[in-house]
Amino acid sequence: MTNRRAVEQWIASVRVVGVVFAMLEVGLISKGFPAGYQTAAWTLTGIFAVIAVAFFLLARRAGDDLLPVVGFGALIFDAAVIGAYATIFSYEYGNQTRWATIFAVVEAALRYGLRGGVAMPVLLSGFFAFNEWWRARQFGPPRFLWERVTFPSGVLLLTGLIVGWLVSRLDFEARQGGERASEAERLRDALGRRVDVLEAANRCARALGSSLEIEQAFGAFIREVRGLVPFERTAIVLVEGDAARTIASAGRGATKVFPPGSAGPLRGTVLDRVLGGEVVVRRELAEIEYPEDQLLVDLGLHSELVAPLLIGARPIGMISLSRVDADAFSAEEAELVSLLGRLVATAVQNMRAYEAERHTVEELRRLSALRADFVSLVSHELRSPMAAVIGAARTLQARWRTLTPEQREAFLALIADETNRLAALVGDVLDTSRIEAGTFSYIFTEVDLTRLVEDAVATASVGQDEVRVRATIADRVPRVRGDRERLRQVLTNLIDNAIKYSLAGDEVEVNVQPENGIVRITVTDRGPGIPYDQQRLIFEKFGRANVPGGSKPGTGLGLFIARSFAEAHGGTVEVHSAPGEGAKFTLSLPVGSDPAL
């Protein structure tokens, strides 16, 4: 009821502000009223002001039982007043006054949730029809336009659905919060008689919150629990899929029986039972009931208290305490450990959230750095060929008649080479965008890899003469199903990279070998090699390795595109390298069916 009164008081305050706005609109802003319309507007404004003040007072003084009636009456009044203003101002074609009905929709949604947010637009659709009929009849042309009825009705319905859903959701969350608050109150009252125990539990909670690192937080927590609920062994276990993983343990056999980090099956264990939400007190472990019981008995333990780790009502694991004596745990201790289970669950959730957030921040930071590097690289890669093209073109334009035919050919060749370089750069960027969007298309046919490799090697040899490119192709290389152009692009990228990082006089070897239903194409160079810790980076978007002698020009997209194309064919691109020993890239393609099928 407090929330309802707050809503009514807020709406009443907004309504009073609306009176001031209406006075300004009628008295100062609006011009050209038809005969009698300004008088009607002032009369309406006066009524509006008087009733707005009345509702303002009622919202503060009316009893709780009258508030729903006051709210309903205020809603009807607001809708009627807005409709009256919209009808008066319909003499101005295109006047936006009727859009003020959105306030009535929001008001209905605030009071009645989704039902109010839907009902009010439906009722107002009749008003829009009347308003348009009145405008066409009194002030037309244009004639009656249905879109002036359907469009605002649709917009208001969508608005009502959104606001109504949000209000309903907030009410639901508030109810849930109230239920949880009630549960906390009952728990607090029950533990109020044991102040010392509660303080000890608080110390445990502080221990859990002392660090976001699991080992440190649970080490401090277990030390506090030992003084609160004495034990010979304790363990905290989380559910991960169909397995149970121990994240902390202390006491007897902590390093031998289910040590931290160990995982085991979930089904048929005591954890499987605890996931139902119940606290399990086991009086005698020697009466073997679960597979792990014998291990605990061998440690000399005979009783166990197991409580679920609960986030709300959702169990995520368990906390267990074991003692040497049989039937050693009381009902009060079971209740207290149940509370500790909730504290542990909250701490685990916080730690997981922190870890996920930290990984996200690190990944965003890495991507931001890569993007910055990419922008810098692309800017440089674009600027260099553009400068060359512009310089050559201006030279040809200014000195065409004085240049010899050979010089003209040289300038034109430079323009062609740099333009091709620009086209390749733009092509890589576009290919990357389409790959990420999942819109890249392939045309699969029978591809002769022997011919494809020979063509790629020949093209690489013709384009430069400093590095020799040699192909070794096995006999009877089977054809594969693939997109010939994309496979050529992969090979060209691997060979060009090998040439780029080779010294003059070196040799790049291309080897084609079928093996167990797979054709492997390896491209080997004798360049500076790639550090092991950067061999994953080079296949990422914008990724570039720091190699001895400095990186070569490039955008860091080529190998990302090559691996994406290979995976689209059901294959892989892998690298084997070490600093100073060159690099060997291997393209593996399956022989057989169409990967797209």
Q: Look-up: residue for tokens 């674009």? A: 382
**Spans of all domains in the chain:** 2-186, 195-355, 388-437, 445-590
Rounded Cα–Cα distance for residues 445 and 452 (Å): 13
Q: Is 499 helix (H, G, I), strand (E, B) or coil?
A: helix
Architecture field, domain 195-355 = 2-Layer Sandwich (3.30)
Both tokens assigned to 504: 């003059």
**List of residues 6+ apart from 576 with CB closer than 8 A:** 583, 584, 586
- Identify the three-state secondary structure at position 61: helix
Structure-block tokens of residue 477: 């290389």
DSSP symbol at 25: I
Q: What is the pLDDT along the chain (597 residues), one digit of tens a residue?
A: 457 788 888 888 988 888 888 888 888 888 888 888 888 889 988 898 898 898 888 888 888 888 888 888 888 888 888 888 888 888 887 778 888 888 889 888 888 888 988 998 899 898 889 888 888 888 878 888 888 889 988 998 999 899 889 988 888 888 888 888 888 888 777 666 566 566 666 777 776 666 666 667 777 777 777 777 888 888 888 888 888 888 888 888 888 888 888 888 888 888 888 888 888 888 898 888 888 888 888 889 989 988 888 887 888 888 888 998 988 888 888 888 888 888 888 877 777 777 778 778 887 776 676 566 556 556 555 666 777 778 778 888 888 888 888 887 887 877 877 787 677 667 666 666 677 667 778 889 999 999 999 988 888 887 677 888 999 988 888 999 999 988 998 998 899 888 888 888 889 999 999 988 899 999 999 888 888 888 888 887 776 676 665 556 666 778 888 888 888 889 999 999 888 888 999 999 998 645 544
Q: Which long-range contacts (CB under 8 A, 24 or more apart) does 197-206 make?
A: 197/228, 197/332, 197/336, 200/224, 200/227, 200/228, 201/228, 201/336, 201/339, 201/340, 201/343, 203/228, 204/228, 204/340, 204/343, 205/343, 205/347
DSSP bridge pairs for 310: 315
Tokens of 514: 């079928």
Cα separation of the two ends of the chain: 62
CATH number of this structure's domain 445-590 = 3.30.565.10
The stretches of 140-262 forming alpha helices (DSSP H) are 147-191, 195-208, 214-228
By three-state DSSP, how is residue 562 classified? helix
Q: Residue 352: name the closest of 307, 306, 311 by CA.
A: 311
- Buried/exposed 523-558: b ≥16 CB within 10 Å, e otherwise: bbbbbbbbeeeebebbbbbbbbbebeeeeeebbbbb
Nearest to 235 by CA among 174, 177, 301: 301
Question: For 4-7, which contacts have Cβ atoms below 8 Å and span 24 or more sequence positions?
Answer: 4/67, 4/68, 4/71, 5/59, 5/64, 5/67, 7/71, 7/110, 7/111
Angle, CA of 97, 99 and 101, to the nearest 5°: 100
Q: What is the predicted pLDDT for the residue at 339? A: 81
- Which residues are 576's β-sheet partners? 584
Residue 183: its pLDDT value, please?
87
pLDDT of residue 1: 46
Spatial separation of the C-alpha atoms in residues 379 and 5, rounded to whole Å: 60
Q: What is the model's pTM?
A: 0.39
- Separation of alpha carbons 350 and 347, rounded Å: 5
Tell me the CA distances in angstroms from 425 to 322, 366, 460, 537, 558, one per residue in order: 66, 23, 18, 20, 10
Cis peptide before 142 (omega within 30 of 0): yes
* Distance, CA of 514 to CA of 350 (rounded, Å): 52
174 bridge partner residues: none
Joined tokens for residue 449 = 């890899």
Residue type for position 250: A
φ/ψ of 309, rounded to 5, equals: -90, 110
CB 234 within 8 A of CB 341: no
Q: How far is CA 364 from CA 272, 357, 360, 369, in A?
A: 38, 10, 6, 8
In terms of Cβ atoms closer than 10 Å to its own Cβ (0-12, 13-18, 19+), residue 569 is: buried
User: In terms of DSSP bridges, do strands 303-311 and 280-282 run parallel, antiparallel, or are they unpaired?
Assistant: antiparallel
Distance CA 121, CA 155 (A): 9
Pairing mode of beta strands 507-515, 468-473: parallel
* Residue 427: other Cβ atoms inside 10 A: 13
